[in-house]
């Protein structure tokens, strides 16, 4: 499986049975060298929540490729009303797709869609994390979240090969809390995400990775690894 960190919280997974994109935010991210045209055909788009920096390019990519949008039920319904193919889920639920299994975990954050023209905030369901079982590997994408103690339960129950954890602070947990999360999750490799995209979330990802005693891996936007 080839995994590309596109930038911010956007992750591309190229698997034997389909290409997956988590939280597509490319056009609005000036720190990524990638464009939507750089992406392969996307078979499924996985969304952790409804904020613009996680769903911005969903409509464009799904219309281009006929992608299935997998999200919390309310967010899936929103995109189904916009003409996309969707599969709605809820926290704690799991479903097996052609490419593997997706389980939605809790995340402590918000989830809404901003309608700036009408000065309205549209409810988008609960925020979530993603536990993926693909090609005999387990990947955890925490989404946007604060530190919460059930991360220890996640680490105790699942042998996680790769985890993506936000470290930006202000909107999510910061580096210190993310270090605690990493200890609880016990992933073989931890990649920091959701930092440096905006001034308010500037962090030293190298310092964070150094604290993880060989388990931390800083990926620059556009960088890939093989799992």
Q: How far is residue 181's CA from residue 155's CA, in Å, rounded to a whole number?
A: 9
Which residues fall within 8 angstroms of residue 63, CB to CB, at 6 or more apart? 83, 84
The pLDDT > 90 percentage for the chain reads 100
pLDDT digits (tens, 9 = 90+) for 12-21: 999 999 999 9
Q: What pLDDT does residue 69 have?
A: 99
On whether the CB atoms of residues 227 and 13 are closer than 8 A, the answer is: no
Q: Which CATH superfamily is domain 2-226 in?
A: Ribonuclease Z/Hydroxyacylglutathione hydrolase-like (3.60.15.10)
Mean pLDDT of 162-174: 98
pLDDT digits (tens, 9 = 90+) for 130-152: 999 999 999 999 999 999 999 99
On whether the CB atoms of residues 48 and 19 are closer than 8 A, the answer is: no
On whether the CB atoms of residues 40 and 31 are closer than 8 A, the answer is: no
CA 14 to mean position of chain CA atoms: 15
pLDDT band at 115 (very low <50, low <70, confident <90, very high): very high
pLDDT digits (tens, 9 = 90+) for 183-220: 999 999 999 999 999 999 999 999 999 999 999 999 99
Say how many CA atoms lie within 13 Å of 46 toward its Cβ: 29
Q: What pLDDT does residue 218 have?
A: 98
Which residues fall within 8 angstroms of residue 143, CB to CB, at 6 or more apart? 9, 23, 48, 49, 54, 107, 109, 127, 128, 129, 130, 166
| Token pair for 54 | 């996680």
pLDDT digits (tens, 9 = 90+) for 64-113: 999 999 999 999 999 999 999 999 999 999 999 999 999 999 999 999 99
Q: Between β-strands 128-134 and 137-141, what pairing exists: parallel, antiparallel or unpaired?
A: antiparallel
Q: What pLDDT does residue 149 have?
A: 97
pLDDT band at 226 (very low <50, low <70, confident <90, very high): very high
Q: What pLDDT does residue 131 have?
A: 98
Q: What pLDDT does residue 6 have?
A: 98
Q: How far is residue 31's CA from residue 48's CA, in Å, rounded to a whole number?
A: 21
């Amino acid at each position: 499986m080839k995994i590309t960190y596109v930038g911010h919280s956007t992750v591309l997974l190229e698997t034997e049975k389909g290409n997956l994109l988590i939280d597509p935010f490319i056009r609005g991210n000036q720190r990524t060298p990638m464009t939507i045209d750089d992406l392969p055909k996307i078979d499924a788009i996985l969304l952790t929540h409804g904020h613009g920096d996680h769903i911005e390019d969903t409509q464009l990519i799904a219309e281009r490729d006929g992608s299935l949008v997998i999200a919390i039920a309310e967010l899936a319904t929103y995109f189904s009303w916009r003409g996309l193919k969707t599969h709605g889920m809820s926290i704690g639920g799991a479903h097996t797709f052609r490419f593997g299994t997706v389980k939605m975990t809790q995340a402590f954050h918000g989830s809404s869609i901003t309608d700036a023209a009408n000065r309205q905030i549209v409810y988008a369901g609960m925020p979530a994390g993603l536990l993926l079982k693909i090609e005999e590997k387990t990947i955890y994408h925490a989404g946007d979240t604060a530190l919460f103690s059930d991360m220890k339960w996640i680490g105790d129950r699942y042998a996680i090969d790769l985890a993506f954890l936000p470290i930006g602070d202000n909107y999510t947990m910061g580096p210190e809390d993310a270090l605690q999360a990493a200890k609880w999750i016990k992933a073989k490799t931890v990649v920091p995400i959701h930092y440096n995209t905006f001034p308010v979330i500037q962090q030293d990802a190298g310092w964070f990775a150094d604290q993880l005693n060989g388990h931390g891996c800083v990926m620059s936007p556009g960088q890939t690894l093989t799992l």
